[in-house]
Amino acid sequence: MGRKLDPTKEKRGPGRKARKQRGAETELARFLPAAGDENSKRLSSRARKRAAKRRLGSVEASKTNESLGTKPSPGKLPKEAVQTPGKKGTQALFNAARDKKHPVPAHSSDEEEDSEDDGTVEQRDLWGSEDSDADMVDDYGVDSDSEEADGEELLPIERAAQKQKAWEAAAGAQWSEEETDEEDEEGMSPESGPTKDEAEGGLQINVDEEEFVLPPAGELDLDAQAPDLQRVHKRIQDIVGVLRDFGAQREEGRSRPEYLGRLQKDLATYYSYGDFLLGKLVELFPAPELIEFLEANEVPRPITLRTNTLKTRRRDLAQALINRGVNLDPLGKWSKTGLVVYDSSVPIGATPEYLAGHYMLQGASSMLPVMALAPQEHEWILDMCCAPGGKTSYIAQLMKNTGVILANDANAERLKSVVGNLHRLGVTNAIISHYDGRQFPKVVGGFDRVLLDAPCSGTGIISKDPAVKTNKDEKDVLRCAHLQKELLLSAIDSVNATSKTGGYLVYCTCSVMVEENEWVVDYALKKRSVRLVPTGLDFGQEGFTRFRERRFHPTLRSTRRFYPHTHNMDGFFIAKFKKFSNSIPQAGTGNSATGTSTDLDSPDLKGQIPPKSENSSQPAKKAKVATEAKQPLQKRQRSNKASFQKLNGVSKGAESELCTVPSITKVQASSRLQGSSKLPGKADVTREPKMTGKLKKLRFSKKAASPRQSALFKGRDTGTPAVQPLSETQATPRLKDRGQTLGKAKGAGKAKQQFPEEPGKKAKFQDSGTPEGPQVPTQVPTVTPRRSGRPPPAKRRKGASQQLF
């Protein structure tokens, strides 16, 4: 295999020697079109192939390569790729997709070429051209120019372009054939349904939006198994478009719920939500806003941090961080200590400033409850669920390390982070404890302010924790709501209403569900003597006062809701309460009623209640049955409001509590006095206005009733003598008990409307001391229901008036 030394033989091929420049003649010879040269050359098989290829042009050669399915030579491909990259690519895809189903276009173009070329020889060359090496010379098939039979001065490129167009036309025709086939079917078959309206919707959405067809309700299984997300997304947008202008754009025969149902399923598929949670969100937001909300949940919120003013100022901190390479901005005009970080070249949680405790990484929405709480210096503050300590440290910095903060959390592992954070930030006035929040007023109470950041279902922080989308269920939400209610009641009981500077409670959750927010707040308003006050945050959406079938107290307008898509912070809910009395009502609608009716003169209310409670607490402590003769009467008056059964149960309960916790008994008894919430069978909707009405009526009727009652009593004496002894015996022990509890209740006395009446009644009824005994059973109809055929006409009148409500 020696090298043949033949100077006449031209060096051909892709090697280095072939590339060497030989001289003008030889170079020119290769370029000049010379059929004679070609024929005179001793062409090797490879040379022949190359020549043929050059003549045909690269396009056809590549086509034949692919359509024939043979392995294309690696050498050839790069050359062709260089020459016509785009065409090759599309054709490769096309050929691969169609899988030789439609060899016609390729062969048609090949035939075109074949007509130009010589017959079989060229065919063979086409076949064989795969193996030849790529020429380094890019001559664009110049040789084949001489062989044009068309008479047109087309370059091979142009010819290839023409063929491309022809192929595309053919392809288009074929695709449209397929589509029309599908459209012909009447959209009942599952597979075609979605494609059909996708096709229609897709084709026509730009032209005519009315034609969006809702796929039939039955099929969705296809989507469940292998959802085509793009299609689903398109359908979502179409449906929202239709819903926006439903009258005009609806499809005949399809109802709105069908569209909505479809939208819900599609959203669940596209954003991977569980059905329960998505159903809840659909109830909360209208369709376009819902999509914004869902989109916002896919994207994380910007990182924000809060300057620790105990150690530095925001200006200095910003400067220091910028020097380190952090890109940041002040958070907004509502915050004096917040900074938002756009990007950072250093880890933001590991800078020396962070280690020195100059700032805390905290979400923007988590700064809001503390701003609402507005802690003052030298106060006692309780933070019931404090982990990881961001809000606690903010409270401490607002108080400038004065006063005392009790930071509590039920989770021991998370408490370690609280300890770490508080030490790092230089908080010295904090005591950290590990109690269940519900134990609170028992352990220690009487705080000036309380912050309750209740554990919740986390539907506002889906962007931080996407698992919430699927793992939250009805049970979880209700369990959370129950826990939140308990915690909130404990928190309310831990606030000292008579605090000089405080008496406030802030309840917040990072959830957008109504069950965890407005419902819990409304519950607390009914159960305790608290009132909602403005949070002091001037932005954010107002809380709902009504939601689907529920109706809430109108003051819920002062609560605030925040959403990721409107405020670019985590979903949040904040409510600020003011406690106006330390007594716990038994059934507190009276309180809420007084709250609403006297909202306008709240300063008066505040002023009146505490001193009254203090005054009356003393007589309560010295409750004596004999002296408190008026109390049974009061009780009777007030019991009109309460259900009779409840009265009985409540009195018994009050007795037991007498032994244990005097303050609570008093409170509970007073709640009984207010005792208006448990009207059996009355809807919540009607409760408050009715309550105010009732109070007024009661006030009115009491005065009227008393003389009537005494008269009636006299009548009764004669009328039912047999009954009386029994009633008396029953009455007296009861009287004693109730006297005590009533005394306390009276002492706690919340409904201040009652107070002015007491002296009057006292005067009246002290005269008729004994009648109250037998009168008492009228108040205990569960024991003697028949006997009080006598809640004598007066009673019945009241009862009647009750039933009017």
Residues that bind other proteins (CB under 8 A): 352, 355-356, 380, 402-404, 406, 415, 418-419, 422-423, 426, 428-435, 443-444
730, 736, 741, 745 alpha-carbon torsion, rounded to 10°: 100
Min dist CB 483 to other proteins, Å, is 19
> Which tokens sit at 499?
């605090």
- What is the C-alpha separation between 516 and 525, in angstroms, rounded? 14
How near is the Cβ of 419 to other proteins at its closest, in Å?
5
- Rank residues 402 and 766 by Cβ distance to other proteins and give the closer one: 402
- Whether residue 193 contacts residue 187, with contact meaning beta carbons closer than 8 Å, is answered with yes
> Is the peptide bond between 388 and the residue preceding it cis, with omega within 30 degrees of 0?
yes
Do residues 209 and 197 touch, judged by C-beta distance below 8 A?
Answer: no
Give the whole-angstrom CA distance, residue 523 versus residue 530.
Answer: 11
Q: Go through 351-365 and write b for each residue having 16 or more CB atoms within 10 A of its CB, e for each that does not.
A: bebbeebbbbebbbb
CA-to-CA distance for 236 and 233, rounded, in angstroms?
5
Query: Residue 444 CB, nearest distance to other proteins (Å)?
Result: 4
Residue ranges at the known binding site for S-adenosyl-L-methionine:
385-391, 409, 436, 453
Give the nearer residue to other proteins in terms of CB position, either 321 or 422: 422
Nearer to other proteins, 295 or 316 (CB): 316
The three-point CA angle 722-626-755 to 5° equals 105
Q: How far is the CB of 403 from other proteins (least distance, A)?
A: 8
For 404, the 3-state DSSP assignment is strand
Minimum distance of other proteins from residue 285's CB (angstroms): 41
Residues 328, 330, 335: CA angle, nearest 5 degrees:
145
Provide the minimum distance between the beta carbon of 446 and other proteins in the complex, in angstroms, as a whole number. Answer: 10
Q: Among 480, 508, 510, 659, which one carries the catalytic annotation?
A: 510
DSSP result, 180-212 = HHHHHS-S-STTHHHHHHHHHHHHHTTT-GGG-
Give 467: exposed, middle or buried? Use CB within 10 Å, 0-12, 13-18, 19+.
exposed
Nearer to other proteins (CB atom), residue 391 or residue 690: 391
Q: In terms of CB distance, is 52 or 406 closer to other proteins?
A: 406
Q: Encoding tokens for residue 223?
A: 């989507």
Q: Is 659 a catalytic residue?
A: no
**With respect to other proteins, which residue has the nearer C-beta, 195 or 408?**
408
CA-atom Rg of the chain in angstroms: 43
Buried b (16+ CB within 10 A) or exposed e, 748-779: bbbbebbeebbeebeebbeebeebbbbbbbbb
Residue 353 corresponds to which tokens in the numbers above? 């400033």
Is 417 or 602 the residue whose CB approaches other proteins more closely? 417
Query: Nearest to residue 52, comparing CAs of 159, 163, 147?
Result: 147
Q: Minimum distance between the CB of residue 431 and other proteins, rounded to whole angstroms?
A: 4
Q: What is the greatest pairwise CA distance in the chain? A: 152
The catalytic residue positions are 510
